[in-house]
Structure 1
């Protein structure tokens, strides 16, 4: 959950590494700013119901152009992860978890992210997680925490 006054995830904000922010484009702004509403969004095809990430203007499954951002539950499962122990630059403290999570709404709908609000040693493949957002400038970065 977010701290309403800062937009930062509840918990130990110092444990969250500094991040480089994405370049916003017409195609991806919805994704990076959806966290303002507290919801994670992906492109979804209105014709066949297939979710797509990263965003594209045509459904790769049925070739429909009827695609639009849609909210998902924010629930996911850790599909893979690594623990980074290297301090690559000042402000990017280690260790921290880099994970690929599979979004609950669709098999293979995956997102590379960080798992926060737990020790790196607690993260496991198959672990249920839920989204929370870290507001940085005009971007809400989707992070995940254990869903206990």
Structure 2
């Protein structure tokens, strides 16, 4: 019974509100890079399209087919990623992973709203889904950089 209560707490109103309002859900027509990532444990998928200008994300689109936790993470990332450079996004990725796996603090602003996912650290089978948006975004930035679009 305690595990059920923990799951109910995990899916808080704030997480569900984020999941219901994901920004940038239209795919880009001609992205510099496009990456699809899948969580093998739960089957959640996120496809990220982005364009780069002056070493920053200038346009962003995402197709999110994930659990509420993955959707909430994608919502925060989608709301914060435009105008950010690779270092800022990599830092958020590293910080989110540390928050989930080793009691690290929440990511810095503008990704600090990811702190809402802190209760998920006890549910290791949800970590991959939560990481999808940032993992796909970092990979897309690498693709764009390698194609000389950054």
Higher helix share: 2
Find the structure with the greater CA-based Rg: 1
The TM-score with structure 1 as length reference comes to 0.26
Q: Which has the higher contact order (CA 8 A, sep 6+)?
A: 2
Greater strand proportion: 1
